[in-house]
A and B are shown apart, each in its own frame.
Chain A
């Protein structure tokens, strides 16, 4: 039953029984991470409203971090619950509780954890006080979780709006740079436009099927053969357009470079990870599980959108002179790869798309964490030239960025490689060979700008000799990270060696068991960047250092030992409701 039916049922019951409302049974475990995020945000906002002194960054970060950690733990508990007792629907059918939704919840809460660490360093550096940025991040992440769990088109819409409205404000957060407000306005107008298109799509689907509940729609389509399904297909097209705005797929991607460039860098990182995860989660569930029977109608459309997204994202990124714009086009290119899995419309395709989203979220967050450091005070130093010979000045920072760039380019021994391989295989399996070919061509084109940036970082200003050193450096850090994974004692020894490592070990240990080893070792590396001062002196504060280490750890460890994550994504799809 949809929330709308619920509301009307409750109202009619109250009229009949003289004021008694019959409320649905709510299994609170199924929405616990969402409630934790919402509660955390409300506590932070109330705290700053009730106490006269403005909250400093350390307090708000610790609030937000504990909320994110609690949500991550809750979502892991959910995973065990789903694995043990199987999927179900909850809150009167408005929310699905299955492997897919829990996968999205785990991914969103861990990505939010990283994004909060990045935002902490930005807040301290820019001297911004108050809890609003991190509270809004929590609310926005809650919207993404709801999109992953939505079992009703209206829930998808509510999740989308919770996600987006908080992001509009976050994009405008840096009120000292005019570009930030401009980005927010652009994002707001196009976002509101796409939401309106999306709602109209819901209205048409409702008109054609008589329900907005996703399983009921699938049920209706399996029992009825529509002779005149123009209404339904029109609704489907509008839904697809609304989703494509959110995930920045090509005909609807115009806002992406401007908004990514204008928004404060930690917000850009958050947006690139969370908004994409939320949008794709809902898109996959709505199209594959509800409109799966109509796949012959929507697969060609997705084919065209995916091909355009792949090619345009890769080729336009080549000519960008601003690193944030370049990463924006790179994120468009990645959206094309995730669409490959959707176009396949198989269980395999969905699980590979989930795996790609996991890999992409951490590579994007890590990249924007590095960009946020290089941006320096004022957050304006984003020309590609700022990265020239970064390897000389800040070897560990450059090494971490190299890992993220090589991962996004799809070099072996990173999650990016396996993710690209997986979606291309899924596409070939579904007989979309040409699309797989286009994807591979776009990966080759994209490798040019990723490797170009790597070369810029490691090549000396004049000589081109140490270019070959770049992949070798990445390999070395791969080796270091894996070596540290095996003996737990080495990790604790490394943690004792420096205070940075200790903190990294604690945070990553409490956050997620898996990347702890790599996290703490490279935490030391990222923390102890060399201090040279020819360009603006870059300092790598603790928070963002840990964030970079965590992302690099995830990218490399799951790249070398892919089985757990691949199994996780596969299990998540098997447990779909």
Chain B
């Protein structure tokens, strides 16, 4: 069975939408991180799909750049979370109240 490229693109759009919705709706910081990862990987899926559809290997190599950046981002993000939550109990964004906005 062959799966048309458009299906992969559709999946990628759905993943991206789930991720974006998650960042905007969920209140747990770690879940928000995971949603950002979902968005980045949706982009990776789109890169690979386009790469196959255009018959151009470049798009698949771009995925490596995105993967490396995503890893670096998570390292820093988790570092910030650990630094903050040393002095508090849970990781809920609603508990932030020092800055109003």
Contacts and interface: CB of A to CB of B under 8 A. Distances in A.
Is chain B a partner of chain A in the same complex?
A: yes
Interface of A: 2-5, 7-8, 154, 157-158, 161, 165, 168-169, 172, 175, 178-179, 181-186, 188-189, 192-193, 195-197, 199-200, 202-204, 206-207, 210-212, 254, 257-258, 261-262
A193 B20 contact: yes
Given A8-B61, A200-B39, A195 B46 contact: no
Contact of A185 (B58, B65, B81, B101): B81
Given A4-B65, A161-B69, 17 more contacts: A3-B61, A5-B57, A8-B57, A157-B69, A161-B73, A165-B76, A168-B77, A168-B80, A169-B79, A178-B84, A181-B80, A186-B96, A189-B29, A193-B20, A197-B39, A199-B66, A202-B62
Contacts of B62: 2, 4, 154, 202, 206, 212
A186 B54 CA distance: 38
B50 A207 contact: yes
B40 to A, nearest CB: 5
Given A172-B83, A196-B40, A206-B50, A182 B72 contact: no
10 contacts: A8-B58, A161-B69, A169-B79, A172-B83, A178-B87, A189-B23, A193-B20, A203-B50, A207-B54, A258-B99
Interface residues of B, number: 47
Given A4-B59, A4-B61, A262-B98, A188 B80 contact: yes
Q: Say what secondary structure dominates the interface of chain A.
A: helix
A171 B57 CA distance: 38
Closest 8 CB pairs of A and B: A196-B39, A4-B61, A207-B50, A203-B46, A181-B84, A199-B43, A258-B101, A258-B99
Contact of A189 (B12, B36, B42, B49): B36
Contact of B83 (A175, A202, A211): A175
Contacts of B69: 157-158, 161, 195
Interface in B1-43: 9, 12, 16, 19-20, 23, 29, 32-33, 36, 39-40, 42-43
B37 to A, nearest CB: 8
B96 A182 contact: yes
Contacts of B42: 200
Contact of A207 (B53, B60, B66, B96): B53
Interface of B: 9, 12, 16, 19-20, 23, 29, 32-33, 36, 39-40, 42-43, 46-47, 49-50, 53-54, 56-62, 64-66, 69, 72-73, 76-77, 79-81, 83-84, 87, 93, 96, 98-101
Contacts of A165: 72-73, 76
A254 B99 CA distance: 12
B69 to A, nearest CB: 5
A210 B99 contact: no
A200 B56 CA distance: 18
B66 to A, nearest CB: 6
B64 to A, nearest CB: 7
Given A7-B61, A181-B83, A189-B32, A168 B76 contact: yes
Contacts of B83: 172, 175, 181
A184 B84 CA distance: 10
